[in-house]
Amino acid sequence: MCIDKEGDFMEKQNEDQYEVTISRLSKYYEGVPVFYNLNMKFLRNRVTAILGPSGCGKTTLLNIISGIEKDYSGKVNLRGSTISYVFQEDRLIPYLSVYDNVAFVLKSTMKKDRIDLTVRKFLRMVELWDYKDKLPCKLSGGMKRRVALARAFAYKSDLLLMDEPFKGLDDRLKSDIIKKFLMIYRESARTIILVTHDKAEAEKLGDVIYSLD
Amino acid sequence: MKISITVETKIIKKLFILIFWILVWEICSLFMNNSLLLPSPFEVLKTLIILMGKAYFWKSVFNSILRVIIGILLSIAIGIVTGIISGLNKFIEELLGPLVVTVKSTPVISIIIIALVWFNSSNVVIFTAILICFPIIYTNVIEGIKSVDNYLVQMANVYKVKRKYVVKDIYLPSIKNYIVSGILMCLGIGWKVSVASEVLSTPNYSIGLNLLNAKTTLETSELFAWTIVIVILSFIFEKIFKYYLSRAKK
C-alpha cells in the first residue's frame, strides 16, 4: 500500500522523478517468500517511509537496495551511484574515535582539509564535536546513533537509507534526534528511504509512506 | 604505601618460588650424587660465571640472538602479509593450504636436515625458524581476519571505502591481538628451534655449537649453563616485547 501525503504521487509518471525503482522483486529465505513480485518507486529528494511490522522484510529490502543482499530476482534501478546507510546497529568502528569514524567514510572521496571541514560541520550539527576524540565504547546509545547519523549525512550520497534509526531511544532523546535529523535534511536534501514500525514516525517524517505487511 | 606492599609481596613470592625450585634441584643433585648426570645449581652457576668472562661466550650469544631475531622478524612479516591476503581471498587461502599443512606436520628435524642440504650453516638456522614460526603467525592472522565484524565490512562496502582503508582501520586493529599472541608463541618456539638447528648445523659462534661441544666433552655443568642462558634470553625477549606492547597501548 502506498500513501502519498501530498496527493500527487500517481501523477509523477516521469521516470526521472524517481531515485530508486524496484520491479518484480522476489526474495526467498529457505523457500519462504519475503517478497513476491514487489514493485516500488522512490521519489527523488523526498523522504519515503516504509512502514511494517517486525519480520516483514523491511531491512531485507534496504539491504537489497544497498547491494548488501544480492540473492534475489527482479530489478532494482538506482539513478545515482552513492548510498549512505544508517543501519539498525550503529556499526561504528570500535578502534576509531568519533571524529575518525565519520572521516572513515570520507577518506576515499575527499581531500584531507575538506574532510576536516565536513566532519567538524556535521559533528557540530549533532552536538558531538566535544566528543570527537572519544571512542564509541565511551558513548551512550543516543550518542552513537547521532554519530551514525552524522556519518551518513557527511557522506555526499544520492540516496540515504535509514533502518529504524530512532529505535530503542527514549522519547526525549528520540524527539531531540528527530529534530537534528530534520535540521540536517534541510541542510543537505537527498532521497531518503526510512524504514520504521512506528506509524507516528512515518507520518511525521515521510512525504510518501509505503506499508508492507 | 599499600601499592608498595603489593609490589614487594609479589617480588618476595617470585623469589621464594625460584629458591624453592633451586632447592629441589640441589636435593635431586645430592640424591643422584653424579655431577655428570645432574650437576648442582652452584656448580652450574660457577660454570656460567666463568663462561661469561670469555669473549666467545658473548660472540656466541650475540650471533644466536641475531639469527633468532632475523628468523622471527621474517616469519612475522611473511606470516602477516600472506595471512592477510589469504584471509581476504579464499582462492589464495586454498592455494597455500597444502603448503602450510605440510610445513606444520613436518618434524623440525626433517626441516633442519633438508635445510642443511640447501643452505650454509648460518642460513639453516634462519630458514628453520621461518618455516616453523611462519605457519603460527599465518594461521593466527587468518583467524583474526575471519573474526572481523562483518557488519563493519558491509558498512565500508556500502560507503565504497577504498580497500586500503578497510584493511588499515577495520582488519588490522581486529587482528592485532591474534598477531600478538602469535608473536608470543614464536618467541618461545623460535629459540628452541634455532638452537636445535645450531646443534645440527654448527655455525661458528653459536649457542647450539657450544651445547654440542659441552655434550661431546661431557661438561654437563656447561651444558646446563648454556641451557639456562637460552631460557634467560627467551624470557628477556618476551619481557621486552610485552614492555613495548604495553607502551604502544598507552
- The total of other beta-carbon atoms located within 10 Å of residue A8's CB is 8
| Strand A47-51 relative to strand A208-211, pairing | parallel
A83 touches chain B (CB under 8 A): yes
The ipTM value here is 0.90
- Count the neighbouring beta carbons within 10 Å of the beta carbon of residue B198: 29
Task: Name the closest residue on chain A to residue B163, using Cα atoms.
Answer: A108
**pLDDT, tens digit (0-9, with 9 covering 90-100), for A67-119:** 999 999 999 999 887 999 999 999 999 999 999 999 999 999 999 999 999 99
Give percent of chain A above pLDDT 70.
93
The amino acid at residue A33 is P
Q: Does A95 touch chain B (CB under 8 A)?
A: yes
- CB neighbours (10 Å) of residue B192? 14
Element (H, E) at B213: helix B207-216
Three-state DSSP string of A104-130: HCCCCCCCHHHHHHHHHHHHHHCCCHH
Pair B68, B194: CB distance under 8 Å: yes
Test mutation, B158, B166, B172, chain A, max A CBs within 10 A? B158
> How far is the alpha carbon of B168 from chain A, nearest alpha carbon, in Å?
11
Which residue is associated with the grid cell 565519520? A102
DSSP symbols for B123-151: HHHHHHHHHHHHHHHHHHHHHHHHTS-HH
- Residue A143, exposed/middle/buried by CB under 10 A (0-12, 13-18, 19+)? buried
Q: Rounded to an integer, what distance in angstroms lies between the CA atom of residue B127 and that of residue B106?
A: 14
* Cell reading at B188: 618461545
Q: Residue with C-alpha cell 575538506?
A: A114
Q: State the burial class of residue B55 (Cβ atoms within 10 Å of its Cβ: 0-12, 13-18, 19+).
A: exposed
- A51 pairs with which residues across the strands? A196, A211
Q: Residues A113-159: pLDDT tens digits?
A: 999 999 999 999 888 999 999 999 999 988 999 899 899 999 999 99
* Other CB atoms within 10 A of residue A96 CB: 17
The pLDDT of residue A119 is: 96
pLDDT score at A15: 66
Report the residue of B159, B171, B249 to disrupt the A interface, i.e. the one with the largest count of A CBs within 10 Å. B159
Chain B residues within 8 A of A105 when measuring between CB atoms: 156, 159, 161
The phi and psi torsions of A142 (rounded to 5 degrees) equal -65, -40
Average pLDDT over residues A173-179: 83
B187 touches B238 (CB < 8 A): yes
Helices (H), B2-120: 2-32, 41-52, 55-88, 90-105, 108-118
Phi, psi of A14 (to 5 degrees): -70, 125
* Structure-derived torsion over alpha carbons of residues B114, B119, B125, B128, reported in degrees to the nearest 10: -40
Nearest residue in chain B measured CA to CA from A65: B158
Q: Are the CB atoms for B215 and B198 separated by under 8 Å?
A: no
Q: In tens digits, what is the pLDDT along chain B, a chain of 250 residues?
A: 555 668 788 889 999 999 999 999 999 999 999 988 999 999 999 999 999 999 999 999 999 999 999 999 999 999 999 999 999 899 999 999 999 999 999 999 999 999 999 988 878 999 999 999 999 999 999 999 999 999 999 999 999 999 999 999 999 898 998 999 999 889 888 999 999 999 999 998 999 999 999 999 999 999 999 999 999 999 898 888 888 888 877 6
- For chain A, the residue count is 213
Size of interface A-B (CB pairs under 8 A): 47
How much is the pTM? 0.76
Angle (CA) B218 B224 B230, round 5°: 130
pLDDT score of B82? 94
| Three-class secondary structure of residue A143 per DSSP | helix
Query: With bands split at pLDDT 50, 70 and 90, how would you rate the model's confidence at A175?
Result: confident
Predicted local confidence at residue B44, as pLDDT: 95
A68 reaches B (C-beta below 8 A) = yes
Size of chain B, expressed as the number of residues it contains: 250
Q: What does the CA dihedral B93, B95, B101, B102 come to, rounded to 10 degrees? A: -160
B78–chain A Cβ distance below 8 A for any pair: no
CB contact under 8 A, B151 and A87: yes
Residue A8 has pLDDT above 80, yes or no: no
